[in-house]
Amino acid sequence: MLRPRLTTPREVASLQGRIRPLMRAMKRAYQRAIVDRPFRDQFGLLDWEETLLADVPGYDWPSPTSRLDFFYVSGTGQLGLTEYNAETPAGAAYNDALCETFLDAPAVREFSRAYEIMTLPALPGVVGSILAAWQEFSRGRSRPRIAILDWDDVPTRTEFELYREHFATLGIEAVIDDPRRCEYRGGTLWVAGKPADLIYKRVLVTELIETCGMEHDVVRAVRDGAVCMADGFRCKILHKKASLAVLSDEANADLFAPDELEAIHDCIPWTRVVRERRTTHGGETIDLVPWMLARKDTLVLKPNDDYGGKGITLGWTVDSAQWEVAVREALAQPYIVQQKVAIPSEPYASWADGRVHVLDRMLDTAPFISHGDYMEGILTRLSTAALLNVTAGGGSTVPTLVVQPR
């Protein structure tokens, strides 16, 4: 991609202003879910996930660093939150590296003669959040030795190296390793031959448990409190896509303050867990499943816990028979249904096959959230495909620059 995404200070302030009450609503939902099992059942946790909830992570907020995935329509300010990534999401270090690269480009330097250009660093927010979790966990102990854990063959491994370099500038040793090589012995988790104090977890909890099991050394070390892990197992509550259904369901409205309800209404498209039930849509009572079957062109089906665009059905891209099959499958396993949102697009130039191509590309707005409270940095992903996800293929990322006339 040959140009960055440009936004304005006003748009950034508007986004931040809606994120803070939305995150307060997330906190209310999480706090209620921890102490109220019937309420928590709305999130669709599996039995092993329920087991892991019993272990206190050692810090208050379960997702020290997270990311909200919005579609933001510039000009109108319309927002559509399609996912809350509560499990140490990717992209912050890549975003900052891209910003530095583009700022050095001759075209951007020429542009800066007429416009002030500001960046929105994301990596320091991620690092600061996980180190704050460590301070809370350790009650102020010395600098930790950090283990960045994920599978050896993941495509984001180069981002781990950017983090390792950043930790080094802070005088903190960080190693990158596969969880399958870690050993828990003598009350200590050993990673790359040395004790680890803090895990910057990039492997997803579900993949860790499904691949290694509940008795794996990393899992036991975290559960015993021998090592701090950010983000911890309790992040699974809000990481479930059903969290958006919990916030937007009229049955839970009395849990939230007025400004939080306003943020929920402004940010979260109508979302429900797929099951046989009566609910409301647009102020009218509906029988959910028959209503879904009749309105495929305005709806999206998503698995409750997956990533990379896997398992998603966009109703307007399939015929009626395929949609009915997808709805029936969604009834058999945890799924959500969500209202289609407006997807913005802009012309972007790219270099491919030895020449420049200018195409309209759909783009999202994915701010990183620190301490479950405020925005630090924005990831922008582009795609020409209806399903906008880099992991799913066909997508790219560009840095987000904030500009205003000099």
Write down the pLDDT at residue 95: 95
Q: Which two tokens stand for residue 395?
A: 């997508």
pLDDT band at 64 (very low <50, low <70, confident <90, very high): very high
Q: Is the pLDDT of residue 275 over 50?
A: yes
| Residue 184 pLDDT | 98
How far, in Å, CA of 127 to CA of 371, rounded?
Answer: 11
As a whole-number percent, the residues of the chain with pLDDT over 90 amount to: 90
Whether the per-residue pLDDT at 175 is higher than 70: the answer is yes
Task: State how far the Cα of 361 lies from the Cα of 347, in Å rounded to an integer.
Answer: 6
Average pLDDT for 258-276: 96
392 — pLDDT class (breaks 50, 70, 90): very low
Which residue is listed with tokens 């940010």?
267
Half-sphere exposure of 149 (CA within 13 A, CB side): 33
Helix residue spans in 36-104 (DSSP H)? 37-40, 47-53, 92-103
d(CA 335, CA 331): 7
Angle at 180 between CA 94 and CA 89, to 5 degrees: 25
Taking CA atoms, 206 is separated from 24, 146, 246, 304, in Å, by 26, 22, 21, 12
pLDDT at 388: 52
d(CA 373, CA 21): 9
Beta strands 65-73; 366-370: pairing state: antiparallel
Average pLDDT over residues 289-296: 97
Residues 166-189, mean pLDDT to the nearest whole number: 97
Mean pLDDT of 196-204: 97
CA 97 from centre of chain: 19
pLDDT in tens, 323-366: 999 999 999 999 999 999 999 999 999 888 999 999 999 999 99
Domains, the chain, ordered by start: 5-240+345-405 (3.40.50.1760), 270-339 (3.30.1490)
Q: Which residue has the tokens 């709806």?
A: 299
Amino acid at site 327: V
Distance between CA atoms of residues 127 and 116, nearest Å: 27
Q: Would you state the pLDDT for residue 390?
A: 46
pLDDT at 87 over 90: yes
Residue 338 burial (C-beta neighbours within 10 Å; 0-12, 13-18, 19+): buried
| Residue 140: per-residue pLDDT | 83
Tokens of 76: 């109108």
Instruction: Tell me the pLDDT tens digit for each residue of 314-333.
Output: 999 999 999 999 999 999 99
Q: Provide mean pLDDT across the span 48-56.
A: 95
**pTM of the complete model:** 0.93
pLDDT (tens digit per residue) in 148-167: 999 999 999 999 999 999 99
Local confidence band at 77 (pLDDT 50, 70, 90 cut-offs)? confident
The alpha carbon of residue 284 and the mean position of all alpha carbons in its chain are separated, in whole angstroms, by: 31
